[in-house]
Structure 1
Amino acid sequence: MVRRLLAGVLAVGTLLGGAVLVGSGPAEATTVAVSDTLLPGQKLMAGQYIRSRNGVYTLIMDTRGEAKLYQRGVSWRLWSSGTWRAGSVLVMGTDGTLQMIYGRTKFWSMSIKSAGAKLVLPDNGNLAIYNTRGKANWNRHMVIGTLMPQSQIHAPDPEGREVIMYSVNRIYTLKFLTTGNLVLYRNGTTVLWSTGKKTSPESYGSVGPDGTFYNFNDFGDITWMYETRRPGSVLQLTDDGHLLMVNGRTIVKTFV
């Protein structure tokens, strides 16, 4: 174990479960993370991070309860969990899903169940969950099955922040085109549904805490929305191609 005093930080950097406890952001970290990996059962608490071996990319858990991926020398984040609950912990679950937990409550998860899978931040910055066979079940450009509140799907942009939503069986995809049109495809070619919006490049979409599914342009203006009026609703893409707004066990809206 190595302990080093961080300049400008009140706490001492401590190696905990493959992660390093540092200040509130990558700019304050003067030590290099000893690991680029979260193994099953390991976690990141506020101020802890993992870093790619080349030192370019850092995944850090902030004090608001949001996990953020940064690239050295770049001010914007490449990816974030979209979760805002102070005191939360990011956990690499033993079931293979990446989870955000507050107290004893799991309120956010990503990937598919695959016992023994681990989270890895490689030198190219493509944060991913690998199963025991070395195959990626998820990476930062994917949402699988369910879009949790505040998480995003994103159109292609110069910063490489594209995020596509997939059904668990990978047959159906929901993605923004460069025009801002949100389109549901079967097998990547057959269009099943779209918002029809075609003048909003670099768009992104998320479900708000109020249960509304919003689409925004690159200026942050709302271009399309569906309001459930049911806080806690999520967007789901099922293995039979249905795109749904769901609240608990209730289907609030079927788009297709």
Structure 2
Amino acid sequence: MVRRLWAGVLAVGALLGGVAVVGSTQAEAKAVAVSDTLLPGQKLLAGQYIRSRSGVYTLIVQPAGDVKLYQRGVKDPLWASGTWRRNSVLMMGTDGTLQVIYGRTKIWSMSIKSAGAKLVLPDTGNLAIYNTRGKANWNRHMVVGTLMPQSKLAGPDAVWDEVIMYSVNRIYTLKFLTTGNLVLYKNGTTVLWSTGVKNAPGASGWVNPDGSFGTVNGFGDLTFFYQTRRDGSVLQLTDDGHLRMVNGKTVVKIFY
């Protein structure tokens, strides 16, 4: 069954440790400048957020543990971490890895491994991790290397904005076509593998916590499915072009 994400109601807050926290009055909100950046070592707790300088875009940690990006005046989120552990924390690691953590358990990460990198929410709304040279190593339209449970890939015509998976070396990509077919490319042109799906516009796909990987059309109908039967498995796209399901150090399934 497809788990659907629903937008919450955002309230504007006052600054707390360089980021804003939900719950203050509108007058208080106008009196402060909300940070648009999460620096190395900084974190957001449930209810805290960063906001673009224009005030149009907000990245907030929900009490349920999901991290969502909203555009002012738009009900549905533009992006979400897909995590569901209540009172989780979003942290920008000093090594450049963006993580959602519950206690000492890392339940979601976007690993770029660039020391000193920071998370920025610009006025364009394109949430991104920038290295110390000012180059964006990751943005919200990307998954790099590993698709964690509940993180989404999405086609160009999906309800969500398009999200493409890249190998760390950027040679290989996994992306949806408008037909709903999920295709593995080398150098953006050579097709190596696909799900073979046709006539399924609005496609998206993700790994579930139970270790299954599936794709659906715009109506939520399942179009491709693989079950590892191992909780916590992830989808990996390696630098040598292999697309596989992995559980810990065990390779469970090789698609290509």
| Both proteins in one fold, TM over 0.5 | yes
**Superposition deviation, residue 87 in structure 1:** 1.5
Q: Quickly say closer, same or farther: Cα 1:178–1:53, change in 2 above 3 A.
A: same
Residue 101 (structure 1) aligns with: 101
Residue 118 (structure 2) aligns with: 118
Q: Which amino acid aligns with 1:150?
A: Q
Q: Quickly say closer, same or farther: Cα 1:159–1:40, change in 2 above 3 A.
A: same
Contact kept in structure 2, 1:111 and 1:144, CA below 8 Å: yes
Q: Quickly say closer, same or farther: Cα 1:160–1:233, change in 2 above 3 A.
A: closer
Q: Which amino acid aligns with 1:38?
A: L
Name the SS for the 2:138 alignment partner: strand
Q: Which amino acid aligns with 2:199?
A: T
Matched, 1:18 2:18: yes
**Superposition deviation, residue 114 in structure 1:** 0.4
Matched, 1:41 2:41: yes
Name the SS for the 2:210 alignment partner: coil
Name the SS for the 1:199 alignment partner: coil
Q: Distance in 2 between matches of 1:160 and 1:206?
A: 13
Matched, 1:245 2:232: no
Name the SS for the 2:185 alignment partner: strand
Deviations 1:15-66 (A, max 9, x none): 223211104xxxx983265210000011111110111001110000000111
Q: Which amino acid aligns with 2:22?
A: V
Matched, 1:196 2:161: no
Q: Which amino acid aligns with 1:44?
A: L
**How does 1:2-17 map onto structure 2 within 5 Å?**
13-17=13-17
Identical counterparts, % of pairs: 74
Residue 224 (structure 1) aligns with: 224
Q: Which amino acid aligns with 1:37?
A: T
Runs of 4+ in 1 over 4 A off after TM superposition: none
Deviations 1:161-201 (A, max 9, x none): 00000000000000001110000000000000000102111
**Superposition deviation, residue 223 in structure 1:** 0.8
Residue 53 (structure 1) aligns with: 53
Q: Quickly say closer, same or farther: Cα 1:208–1:158, change in 2 above 3 A.
A: closer
Corresponding residue pairs, total: 243
Residue 92 (structure 1) aligns with: 92
**Superposition deviation, residue 238 in structure 1:** 0.2
Residue 169 (structure 1) aligns with: 169
Name the SS for the 1:241 alignment partner: coil
Q: Which amino acid aligns with 2:149?
A: P
Residue 76 (structure 1) aligns with: 76
**Superposition deviation, residue 239 in structure 1:** 0.2
Q: Which amino acid aligns with 1:250?
A: T
Could you list the runs of 5+ residues in structure 1 that have no partner in the other structure? 1-7
**Superposition deviation, residue 126 in structure 1:** 0.2
When the two chains are superposed, the root-mean-square deviation of aligned CA atoms in Å is 1.8
